[in-house]
């Protein structure tokens, strides 16, 4: 009887602990999100192949229950797309205010955009590449978007592909 009472109390204690709010998950020395951010969309200001001055935008929403602020975003640049220089990369919040970031080109062809002030849960940010030249050929281009929580040794989460389509002779915007 004492074992079952002790086991019951242990179970209640675990339930009570799991119901308390968690602000970060650190396991094996890595920081994780409780709820993963979401890639909301990808747009370009012009879908014409070879267009010289376009803007590509990738919008990410950080859930209010993410448990950890957003520390960085990684955007993989597909073959055939001009890789922007750090000065051609900016990030804005939902109000359009520019956020302070540091952009670093990675050896795998992606850009790592690190926030000087981590993005709070419940926020939305948009990464912009501008000016950028559209690819010479038409087609669908997939930009791999990843999110990293702020904190020690962050785990990189694949959010999805930002999909942009370009057309030979096309004009206009994708969104």
pLDDT tens digits along 110-157? 999 999 999 999 999 999 999 999 999 899 999 999 999 999 899 999
Kindly report the pTM of this predicted structure. 0.83
Confidence of residue 3 (pLDDT cuts 50, 70, 90): very low
The confidence score (pLDDT) of residue 139 equals 96
| Total Cβ atoms within 10 A of residue 122 | 12
- Closest residue by Cα to residue 154 from 66, 72, 31: 31
> Is residue 162 packed enough to be buried (19+ CB in 10 Å), middle (13-18) or exposed (0-12)?
buried
Task: Give ∠ CA 119-123-128 in degrees, rounded to 5.
Answer: 75
* Mean pLDDT across 95-120: 97
The confidence score (pLDDT) of residue 117 equals 98
- Closest residue by Cα to residue 121 from 1, 12, 23, 8: 23
The confidence score (pLDDT) of residue 53 equals 93
Cα gap 15→164, rounded to integer Å: 45
Mean pLDDT of the chain: 86
**DSSP labels, 58-110:** EEEE--TT-SS-EEEEEEEPPTTSPPPPGGGEEEEETTSPBPPEEEEE-TTSE
The confidence score (pLDDT) of residue 18 equals 38
* Mean pLDDT across 17-29: 55
Which sign, positive or negative, has the C-alpha torsion 76, 155, 91, 123? positive
For the chain, domains (ranges, CATH) are: 2-166 (2.60.40.740)
| Total Cβ atoms within 10 A of residue 6 | 10
């Amino acid at each position: 009887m004492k074992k079952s009472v002790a086991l019951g109390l242990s179970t209640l204690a675990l339930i009570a602990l799991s119901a308390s709010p968690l602000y970060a998950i650190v396991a094996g020395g890595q920081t994780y999100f409780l709820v993963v951010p979401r890639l909301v969309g990808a747009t370009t200001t012009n879908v014409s192949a070879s267009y010289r001055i376009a803007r590509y935008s990738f919008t990410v929403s950080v859930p209010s229950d993410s448990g950890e602020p957003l520390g960085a975003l990684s955007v993989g640049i597909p073959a055939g797309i001009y890789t922007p220089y750090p000065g051609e990369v900016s990030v804005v919040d939902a109000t359009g205010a520019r956020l302070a970031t540091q952009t670093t080109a990675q050896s795998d062809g992606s850009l790592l955009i690190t926030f000087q002030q981590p993005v709070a849960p419940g926020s939305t940010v948009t990464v912009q590449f501008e000016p950028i030249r559209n690819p010479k050929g038409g087609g669908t281009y997939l930009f791999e978007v990843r999110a990293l929580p702020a904190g020690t040794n962050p785990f990189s989460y694949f959010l999805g592909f930002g999909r942009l389509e370009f057309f030979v002779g096309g004009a206009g915007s994708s969104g």
